[in-house]
Amino acid sequence: MEQITIHEVAIIGAGGKIAGGKMGDWFTTFFLNLESKKVKLYDTKSKIKIYEGKYEKKLIITKDIISCIKNADLILICVPISNISEIVFECSKNAKPGAIISEISSIKNQSFESLINIRQDLVPLCIHPMFGPGAKNIDKMKIIVIPVRNEQNEFLLAKKIFEGANIIQVDSAEIHDKIISVVLGFTHYMNLVFAKFLTNLDYDEFKKYGGTTFKMQSLISESILTDNSQLMTSLLFFNPRLLDDIQLFLKEANKISTLISNNNKNEFVNLFNQVQSFFEKNNSPKTSYKKLYDAMKIIDETTYDL
């Protein structure tokens, strides 16, 4: 890999209420805490002023994209999916030769095409951090890399920039979006439905009597509501694979519902045994059960400052 030294980082979408803003804020803090890194920030609707007075020698808040990126060695784009193409284009026009242009969107069918078309004297880096802004540090956090021009170089570049993270390569944007449809899109859909279901009930009353399973499921569903509506919309509306996964889920849900409504216990037991056997081959439900209680014990014993 050609030697690339990163002295100055530009972050577009560096904080605030816009989708991507929370992760832009997270990466701002990440780079500010690295030695010898100057960081420039730009965001149209942000809480960037929270940084004023901190990191005075390392941080510059800019009023436009061009002044933010013009001397940057790494440009990190953390904006809503609908804005990525225009931002990548703007950065491609104005970045210095040799600069790295990276973006962190959750869906890659549009952003990947934009990165392919940046100037040839620039370095594309298509990544997807598989963690949220609640992560305390980058140690062992998963970051997916989708190769754009040079598979080996971009993988090694990601390992260098995000040292300590667990860098995982996915071969194409199409494969990435197929995976993300399930591990992010569908799980957010399922938990949103569960959360919406709870709004029809006396939730506080159910929480009072709920056991471990209800408590953990409720925690997961509540946690996705910390995302803003733009991010949720991106996950559920911008991935063309998601509707197929939802339809498959509804098919399986209707199958089980029909067995219950028809009081068909024998078929239900057969279905349950098939599912149980699948997970016993691919995982250990007993281990998962133990992890559930271990996790809940930690949660119950931890005091959280909000």
- Band the pLDDT of 19: cuts 50, 70, 90: very low
The class of domain 8-126 in CATH terms is alpha beta
Evaluated on CA atoms 212, 218, 222, 223, the torsion sign reads positive
Model pLDDT, residue 17: 42
| Fold (topology level) of 175-301 | 6-phosphogluconate dehydrogenase C-terminal fold (1.10.3660)
Q: What is the pLDDT of residue 37?
A: 81
What is the predicted pLDDT for the residue at 170? 97
Assessment of whether the complete model's pTM goes beyond 0.85 = yes
* CA atoms within 13 Å, Cβ hemisphere of 227: 25
**What does pLDDT average to over the chain?**
90
d(CA 84, CA 104): 10
Q: What pLDDT sits at residue 18?
A: 38
80-84: average pLDDT: 91
Residue 227: per-residue pLDDT: 81
Q: What is the pLDDT of residues 33-57, one digit of tens each?
A: 887 789 999 987 655 655 556 677 7
pLDDT score at 226:
86
Is the pLDDT score of 2 beyond 90?
no
Q: Where in the chain is the domain with CATH 1.10.3660.10?
A: 175-301
Q: In the chain, what is the greatest distance between 2 CA atoms, to the nearest angstrom?
A: 70
- Reading the block at residue 203, the tokens are 């939730």
Please, where in the chain does CATH 3.40.50.720 lie?
8-126
135 CA to centre of own chain: 11
- pLDDT-based confidence at 252, cuts 50/70/90? very high
* Residue 305 scores a pLDDT above 70: no
Q: Which of 17-31, 102-116, 214-228, 282-296 bottoms out in mean pLDDT, i.e. has the lowest?
A: 17-31
Span 140-166, average pLDDT: 97
- pLDDT given for residue 20 in this prediction: 44
pLDDT digits (tens, 9 = 90+) for 98-135: 999 999 999 999 999 999 999 999 999 999 999 999 89
Q: Are 224 and 253 in contact (CB under 8 A)?
A: no
Query: What is the structure's pLDDT at 281?
Result: 86
21 pLDDT more than 70: no
